[in-house]
């Protein structure tokens, strides 16, 4: 009922009477009052005025299920939201749900991870209270070889959501790091369970440094947060909901086309490597060139000094 009450209060700029809430939710006045009191305890500022009703004036920066669900404007992305104060890794939990028959679009969110996972076997620092840790479970109907492109779909969704919410020029470092002022604010880890010609499920995990104030020394040069770059704190649930809105839309476009063609131009516009000199760091195959953008399957098109073109599928590039 919390989600419903928050949604109704948010939809109304002014006051919502207790009676309206009772009628819409088919519950008693006392039940409504109890939820309002609980919400106040959680940090929501709700004015209660006799003969007028309730008015939500401020929401706390909490990643609770009700807070996220009441902000979502999607059909399937984030439906349902599963929230945990603490977990090992939202990717691990989402994969378990995948094995257990969980629904396409289920979003696992946590305030803190004790075993956060990064790409290439690395860890992901996951302290509480400041960042977004979330993983979406997907059951795509396309072939497994298309799945790596989903990471780029998510990267585009995160970059656009950050731009919309903060007004900052977030960009994408190929293939899927989101950067602001050349430093990383978000990492994405995609994992898949598949047979040779069939996807059981895909999990896309997103870690966004939102209000983090400092980073361990080893990553200080390369990592940053929205708060550090903008000098302001941001509401995590707001950003998480915006990411889901962009992702649902872009996923639908991708699933219909079965490639990145409809998103290629948007992605390339946000690509910080575009038209820049880069070093491709593939083990045993390192070379320099100019990044021209991605092709419709998400490979990075690189023009080498001798004019020849290479399209790279995997590997890391330096900006």
Which residues carry a binding-site annotation for biotin? 89-91, 113, 184
CA-to-CA distance for 176 and 35, rounded, in angstroms? 40
Q: Nearer to ligand BTN by C-beta: 130 or 189? A: 189
| Residue 189 binds to ligand BTN (criterion: CB under 6 A) | yes
Whether the CB-CB separation of 82 and 106 falls below 8 Å is answered with yes
Minimum Å gap between C-beta 312 and ligand BTN is 18
Sites for ligand BTN among residues 99-138 (CB under 6 A): 113, 116-119, 122, 124, 133-135
CB of 140 or CB of 187, closer to ligand BTN? 187
Total binding residues for ligand BTN by CB under 6 A? Answer: 19
Q: Name the residue nearer to ligand BTN (CB basis): 5 or 67.
A: 67
Q: Binding to ligand BTN by residue 91, rule CB under 6 A?
A: yes
Q: Which is nearer to ligand BTN, 125 or 310 (CB)?
A: 125
Minimum Å distance from CB 242 to ligand BTN?
17
Among 59, 64, 70, 90, binds ligand BTN (CB under 6 A): 90
- For strands 316-318 and 309-312, give the pairing: unpaired
* Closest CB to ligand BTN among residues 167, 216: 216
Which residue, 62 or 107, has its beta carbon nearer to ligand BTN? 107
**Token code pair at residue 54:** 């309730």
Selection from 176, 144, 142, 172 nearest residue 160 by Cα: 172
**Annotated binding-site positions:** 89-91, 113, 184
CB 105, min distance to ligand BTN, A: 16
Q: Which stretch binds ligand BTN (CB under 6 A): 60-68, 185-193, 212-220, 229-237?
A: 185-193
Quick one: 163 exposed, middle or buried, by C-beta within 10 A (0-12, 13-18, 19+)? middle
Q: Taking CB positions, which residue lies at the least distance from ligand BTN?
A: 187
- Of 55-63, 140-148, 200-208, 295-303, the window that binds ligand BTN (rule: CB under 6 A) is 200-208
Q: Interaction with ligand BTN in 212-231: which residues (CB under 6 A)?
A: none
The residue among 210, 204, 205 whose CA lies nearest residue 237 is 210
Q: Please state the closest distance from residue 233 (CB atom) to ligand BTN, in A.
A: 20
Residues binding ligand BTN (CB under 6 A) = 89-91, 113, 116-119, 122, 124, 133-135, 187-189, 205-207
């Amino acid at each position: 009922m919390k989600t419903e009450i928050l949604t109704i209060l948010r939809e109304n700029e002014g006051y919502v009477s207790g009676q309206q809430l009772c009628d819409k939710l088919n519950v008693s006045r006392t039940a409504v009052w109890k939820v309002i009191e609980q919400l106040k305890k959680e940090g929501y500022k709700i004015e209660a005025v006799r003969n007028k009703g309730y008015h939500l004036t401020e929401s706390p920066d909490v990643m609770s299920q009700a807070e996220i669900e009441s902000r979502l404007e999607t059909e399937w992305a984030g439906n349902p939201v599963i929230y945990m104060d603490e977990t090992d890794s939202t990717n691990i939990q989402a994969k378990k749900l995948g094995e257990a028959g969980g629904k396409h679009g289920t979003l696992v969110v946590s305030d803190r991870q004790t075993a956060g996972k990064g790409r290439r076997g690395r860890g992901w620092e996951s302290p509480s209270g400041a960042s977004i840790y979330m993983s979406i479970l997907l059951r795509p109907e396309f072939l497994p070889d298309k799945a790596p492109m989903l990471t780029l779909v998510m990267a585009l969704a995160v970059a656009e959501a950050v731009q919309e919410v903060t007004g900052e020029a977030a960009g994408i470092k190929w293939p899927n790091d989101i950067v602001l002022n050349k430093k990383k604010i978000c990492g994405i880890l995609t994992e898949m369970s598949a047979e040779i010609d069939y996807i059981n499920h895909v999990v896309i995990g997103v870690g966004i440094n939102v209000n983090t104030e400092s980073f361990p020394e080893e990553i200080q040069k390369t990592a940053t947060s929205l708060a550090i770059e903008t000098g302001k704190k941001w509401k995590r649930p707001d950003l998480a909901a915006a990411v889901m809105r962009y992702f649902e839309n872009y996923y639908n476009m991708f699933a219909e086309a079965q490639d990145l063609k409809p998103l290629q131009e948007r992605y390339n516009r946000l690509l910080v490597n575009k038209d820049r000199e880069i070093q491709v760091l593939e083990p045993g195959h390192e070379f320099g060139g100019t990044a021209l953008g991605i092709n419709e399957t998400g490979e990075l098109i690189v023009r080498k000094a001798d004019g020849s073109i290479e399209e790279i599928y995997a590997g890391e590039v330096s900006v």
